Structure 1
Amino acid sequence: MNYQRYIDWADDRIVDDSRKVVLAFLVVTLAFSAGLGNISTNAGTQQFTTGLPAEEAFEQVNTEFSPAFSADTGSTQLIQDGTNVLSKPAMLRMLRAQEKLEEHGELRVTSTSSAAAIVARELNPSATTTEAQIRTLERSTDSEVDAAVRRAADNPQFTGLLSNDFNRESASASATIGVVTHELPAGLSSGSGQGGTSPLTDIQRQAEFTVDATGAGSITVFGSGILAEEFSNVVFDSLILTVPAALVFILLFLSIAYRDLADMALGLAALFMAIVWTFGFMGLAGIPFSQMLIAVPPLLLAVGIDFGIHAVNRYREEREEGRDIGRSMRITTDQLLVAFGIVTGTTVIGFLANVSSDLPPIQDFGYVASVGIVFTFLIFGVFLPAAKVELDRLRDRYPIPTFSQRPLGSEGSKLSGVLRGGVVIAERAPVVFLLVVLVATAGAGMYATGISTSFSQDDFLPPEDNPDWIESLPEPFAPSEYTVTETTNFLDERFTSSQGGQVTIYVEGPMRQDDALEQIYRAGDDPPETFVREDGRADSTSIVTVITNRAERDPEFRALVARNDQNDNGVPDSNLEEIYDYLLSSSSRAQALDYITEDYRSARVTYQVEGDASDDAAAADAREVADRFRFEATATGSLVVFQAVSDVIFESAITSLAIALTGTAVFLLFIYWVIEGRPSLGLANVVPVVITVALLAGTMRYLGIPLNAITGTMLALTIGLGVDYSVHVVHRFADESHEAALVPALDRTVRGTGGALLGSMLTTVFGIGVLALAVFPAIGQFGILTALSIVYAFLTSLLVLPSVLVVWYRATNVWSGIGGLRDLGRRQTVAPGDDD
Structure 2
Amino acid sequence: MSFSDGVETAIDRLNTVIVERPRTVILVFLLLTGGFIGGLGAIQVNAGGLDAFTEGLPEQEALDNINRNFEEPFQTDTQTTTQLIRTDENVLAKESLIREARVLERVASRPDLRMEAASGPVPLLAQTLNPSATTPEEYRETLEREPPSAIEQAIRELEENSRFTGSLADDFNPTSASASGSITTISHDFPENFGDNGLTAVQTEIQAIAEDAPSDIRAFGSGTTQSEITQSMSDSLLVVMPVVILLLLFFLVVAYRDPIDVVLGLIALVMTIIWTFGFLGYAKIPFSQQMISVPVLLLAVGVDFGIHIINRYREETERGFEAVEAMREANSQLMVAFIIVTVTAVFGFGANVVSDLAPIRNLGIASAIGIVFTFLIFGLFLPAAKLVSDDIRKRLGIPDFNSSPIASDESILGRVLAFPAQVSRYAPTLIVLVLLLGGAFMGAYGSGVGTSFENEDFLPPEEVPAYLTELPEPFSPGEYTITETINLLDEKFTSNQGDTVKLYIEGNFKQDHALEALAAPNDNPPESLAVGPGGQAQSQSIVTVIKSHANENDDFAALVNRNDKNDNGIPDQNLGLIYDELFASSAGSQAERYLTEDYRAVQVEYTVDTDASQSEAAAAGAEFAEKFRTEATATGGVIVRSTVMDRIFQSAIQGLGLAIGLTAAFLVIVYGALERKPLLGVVNVFPILVAIAFLLGTMRYMGITLNALTATILSISIGVGIAYSVHTTHRFIDEYDATTDAHEAMMTTLTGTGGALFGSMLTTALGTGALALAITPILGNFGVLIALSVIYSFLMAVIALPPAILLWERVYEFDSDLLGRLRPALQ
TM-score by length of 1: 0.93
- Matches of 1:496 and 1:560 in 2, distance apart? 37
Equivalent position amino acid for 2:333 in 1: Q
Percent identity between the aligned chains? Answer: 47
1:59 aligns with 2:30: no
State the match for 2:388 in structure 1.
Answer: 390
Give secondary structure in 2 for the equivalent of 1:199: helix
Partner of 1:763: 763
Gap change, CA 1:682 and 1:246, over 3 Å in 2:
same
* Aligned residue identity for 1:397: R
Aligned to 2:642: 643
Q: Which of 79, 82, 98 pairs up with 1:76?
A: 82
Aligned ranges for residues 618-629 of structure 1 at < 5 Å?
618-629=617-628
Q: 2:180 maps to what in 1?
A: 174
| Structure 1: gaps of 5 or more residues | 824-836
Name the CA distance, whole Å, in 1 between partners of 2:477 and 2:114.
31
Contact 2:76 2:220 in 1 (8 A): no
1:583-642 deviation digits (Å, cap 9, x = unpaired): 344455444333222222211122344556432222222223323322211111222212
Structure 1 residues 503 and 86, CA gap change in structure 2 (3 angstroms): farther
Which deviates more, 283-292 or 306-315? Answer: 283-292
Structure 1 contact 540–608 (Cα < 8 Å) conserved: yes
Structure 1 residues 70 and 480: alpha-carbon distance in aligned structure 2, compared to 1, 3 A threshold: closer
Question: Conserved in 2, the CA contact under 8 Å of 1:270 and 1:384?
Answer: yes
Of 574-583 and 810-819, the range deviating more from structure 2:
810-819
1:171 and 1:524 mapped to 2: Cα distance? Answer: 36
1:153, distance to aligned residue in structure 2 (A): 2.6
Q: Would the aligned equivalents of 1:73 and 1:181 in 2 still touch at CA under 8 Å?
A: no
CA deviation digits over 1:135-192, x for unaligned, max 9?
554555555544443442322222322233334555443322111111113433xxxx
1:190-339 equivalences under 5 Å are 193=195, 197-215=196-214, 217-339=215-337
- Closer, same or farther in 2 for the Cα pair 1:18/1:40, shift >3 Å? same
CA-to-aligned-CA distance 1:62-108 (integer Å, 9 cap, x gap): 23225999999711111122333334444343334333322333221
Q: Counterpart of 1:629 in 2: which secondary structure?
A: coil
- Higher mean displacement: 69-78 or 439-448: 69-78
The residue type equivalent to 1:94 in the other structure is E
2:416 to 405, 414, 418: 418
Residue type at the aligned position of 1:719: I
Cα distance in 1 for partners of 2:389, 2:526 equals 73
Q: Report the CA distance between 1:211 and its aligned residue.
A: 2.2
CA distance in structure 2 between the aligned counterparts of 1:624 and 1:174, rounded to whole angstroms: 39
Shift in alpha-carbon separation, 1:545–1:611, aligned structure 2, 3 A: same
Give 1:18 shift: 1.2
Query: 2:580: which partner in 1?
Result: 581
Q: Which amino acid aligns with 2:801?
A: L
Distance 1:272 1:498 in 2: 50
Contact 2:53 2:357 in 1 (8 A): yes
Aligned to 2:792: 792
SS in 1 for 2:464: coil
| 1:514 matched to 2:519 | no
**What is the letter of the counterpart of residue 301 of structure 2?**
V
Paired amino acid for 1:810: R
Closer, same or farther: CA 803–70 of 1 in aligned 2, 3 Å: closer
- Name which of structure 1's ranges 682-691 and 532-541 shifts more when overlaid on structure 2: 532-541
> In 2, distance between residues paired with 1:566 and 1:764?
75
> Shift of the alpha carbon at 1:19?
1.3
- Residue 826 of structure 1: aligned partner: none
Q: CA deviation at 1:204?
A: 1.1
Partners of 2:571 and 2:197 in 1: CA distance: 44
Q: Which moved more, 1:613-622 or 1:789-798?
A: 613-622
SS at match of 1:569: coil
Q: CA deviation at 1:396?
A: 2.2
Could you tell me how far 1:499 is from its partner in structure 2? 5.9
Check 1:408–1:565 CA distance in 2 against 1; reply closer, same or farther (3 A cut). Answer: same
Equivalent pairs, count: 814
Letter in 1 for 2:438: A
- Give TM-score, length-normalised by structure 2: 0.94
Structure 1 Cα separation of the partners of residues 525 and 494 of structure 2: 18
**2:685 pairs with 1:714:** no
Give the match's secondary structure for 1:605: strand
The residue that corresponds to 2:193 in the other structure is 187
Question: Any unmatched runs of 5+ in structure 2?
Answer: none
Whether 1:161 and 2:167 are equivalent positions in the alignment is yes
- In structure 2, give the amino acid aligned to 1:272: V
Match of 1:828 in 2: none
Deviation of 1:344 (Å)? 0.6
CA offsets, 1:396-415, max 9 Å, x none?
21122421100011231121
State the partner residue of 1:829. none
1:630-709 alignment to 2 at 5 Å? 630-709=629-708
Letter in 1 for 2:58: P
| Alignment partner of 1:50 is 2:50 | no
RMSD value, Cα: 2.5
Structure 1 residue 231 displacement after superposition: 1.4
- Higher mean alpha-carbon deviation, 129-138 vs 458-467, is at 129-138
Instruction: Summarize the Cα distance change of 1:147–1:617 in structure 2 as closer, same or farther, 3 Å threshold.
Output: farther
Spell out, residue by residue over 1:714-767, the C-alpha distance to the aligned partner (whole angstroms, 9 max, x if none): 001111111010000011101110111222111110011100001111111111
Query: Alpha-carbon deviation of 1:293?
Result: 1.3
Q: Name whichever of 616-625 and 584-593 sits farther off.
A: 584-593
Deviates more, 1:73-82 or 1:410-419: 73-82
Of 626-635 and 311-320, the range deviating more from structure 2: 626-635
Cα pair 2:119 2:186 within 8 Å, conserved? yes
Which secondary structure state, in structure 1, belongs to the residue aligned with residue 405 of structure 2? coil
Pair 224,617 (structure 1): closer, same or farther in 2 beyond 3 Å: same
> In the alignment, does 2:403 pair up with 1:405?
yes
Is 1:113 the equivalent of 2:119? yes
Partner amino acid, structure 2, of 1:107: L
2:70 maps to a residue whose letter is F
| Cross-structure match for 2:735 | 736
Once the two structures are TM-superposed, the CA of residue 124 in structure 1 deviates from its matched residue by 5.0
2:494 aligns with: 496
Q: What corresponds to 1:544 in structure 2?
A: 543
Q: Alignment partner of 2:450: what SS?
A: coil
Task: Name which of 92, 95, 102 aligns with 1:86.
Answer: 92
Q: Confirm or deny: 8 A CA contact 1:72 1:185 kept in the other structure.
A: no
Q: Which residue of 2 aligns with 1:370?
A: 368
SS at match of 1:30: helix
Paired residues of 1:154 and 1:549 also in contact (CA < 8 A): no
Deviation at 1:12, TM superposition (A): 0.6
Name the residue aligned to 2:22: 18
Which of 4, 8, 18 pairs up with 1:4? 8
Whether the 8 Å CA contact 1:73–1:184 is kept in 2: the answer is no
Q: CA deviation at 1:501?
A: 3.0
- Please tell me the residue identity of whatever aligns with 2:694: L
Aligned residue identity for 2:106: K
- Closer, same or farther in 2 for the Cα pair 1:697/1:158, shift >3 Å? same
Match for residue 777 of structure 2?
777
Partners of 1:788 and 1:70 in 2: how far apart? Answer: 38
Aligned counterparts of 1:381 and 1:371: Cα–Cα separation in 2: 15
Q: In structure 2, how many angstroms separate the alpha carbons of the residues matched to 1:559 and 1:31? A: 78
The answer (yes or no) to whether the contact 1:813–1:819 under 8 Å persists in 2 is no
Q: Could you tell me whether the CA contact under 8 Å between 1:425 and 1:433 is conserved in 2?
A: no
Say if 1:744 and 1:230 are closer, same or farther in 2 by CA, change over 3 A: same
Mapped to 1, the partners of 2:705 and 2:367 lie a distance apart of 22
Equivalent position SS for 2:463:
coil
CA contact (8 A) 1:261 1:402 kept: no
C-alpha spacing 1:121/1:58, structure 2 compared with 1 (3 Å) = same
| 3-state SS of 1:412 partner | coil
User: Equivalents in 2 of 1:89, 1:612: separation in Å?
Assistant: 43
Q: Find the aligned partners of 2:91 and 2:567 in 1 and give their Cα distance.
A: 39
Aligned partners of 2:87, 2:679: CA distance in 1, in Å? Answer: 68
Aligned to 1:33: 37
Structure 1 position 530, deviation (Å) = 4.5
Contact 1:503 1:637 in 2 (8 A): yes
The 1-side partners of 2:171 and 2:531 are apart by 18
Distance 1:713 1:273, change over 3 A: same
Post-superposition CA distance 1:369-405 (Å, at most 9, x none): 1111111111111111111111222222112242110
Match of 1:350 in 2: 348
